[in-house]
Amino acid sequence: MPSLIPLNIAVVTVSDTRTPQTDKSGVVLVERLQSAGHKLHGKTIVKDDVCQLRAEVSSLIADSSVQAILLTGGTGFTARDNTVTAIQPLLDTPIEGFGELFRQLSYQEIGSSTIQSRAFAGLVNGAILFCVPGSPGACATAWDKIISEQLDSTHKPCNFTDKLRQN
C-alpha cells in the first residue's frame, strides 16, 4: 500500500482582531495537518482587507514550495468579510463541490445558519486553496470531513495530490 506523500501547507487566518494567542481556528488547522503527516510551511494572521489578503495569498501562490493554502475567516456576510472578494479572482479553477459539501456537512452541525458560509476552494498555479469560516468548529469539520482526504495521496478513488506541483 502506498504511503502518504506529505504536502507543504500554509495556514492563513483572516481577521482584524485575532492574535497568535487567540487564533484558535488557525491552531486547529495547524494541529490537524501536522497530525496527518503534512508539513507546515508557515502560519500567518492577515487583516480582513482585500489588498493585504491578495498580497499574502499571491506570495504563497508564487512560492513553488507551497502546495496547499488553508484560509480561515472572512467568508461570512459582514462588511469586513473580504476573503471571497479578495481570493476568488486569483483561482485558475474553482472547486464548486467543496463549498457545496462543506455546507451540507455543516448543516448537520449548525442547521440553516450554514447558508451564511461562503466557504470555497480552487486550484491556482499548481497549488490548492481552501477557504473556510473562522470558527474552530468549521475548521475541524472542513479538515476532518473533506480536506484531509483530498490532500491524502492514498485516498481512493481520487484526491487532489496528483494535480499539485511537486516538491
Place domain 8-163 in its CATH homologous superfamily: MoaB/Mog-like domain (3.40.980.10)
pLDDT above 90 (res 3): no
Please answer whether residues 70 and 29 qualify as being in contact, where contact means their C-beta atoms are separated by less than 8 angstroms. Answer: yes
Distance CA 67, CA 40 (A): 11
Average pLDDT over residues 154-164: 96
Distance CA 90, CA 87 (A): 5
Query: Mean pLDDT across the chain, nearest whole number?
Result: 96
DSSP H stretches of helix in 36-160: 50-62, 83-87, 96-110, 136-142, 148-150
Alpha carbon 167 to its chain's center = 20
pLDDT in tens, 121-141: 999 999 999 999 999 999 999
**Residue 137: all three cell numbers together:** 468548529
* Cα-Cα end-to-end distance for the chain: 22
In this predicted structure, what is the pLDDT of residue 40? Answer: 98
pLDDT above 80 (res 1): no
User: Taking Cα atoms as reference points, which of 10, 14, 93 lies closest to residue 53?
Assistant: 14
pLDDT in tens, 58-113: 999 999 999 999 999 999 998 889 999 999 999 999 999 999 999 999 999 999 99
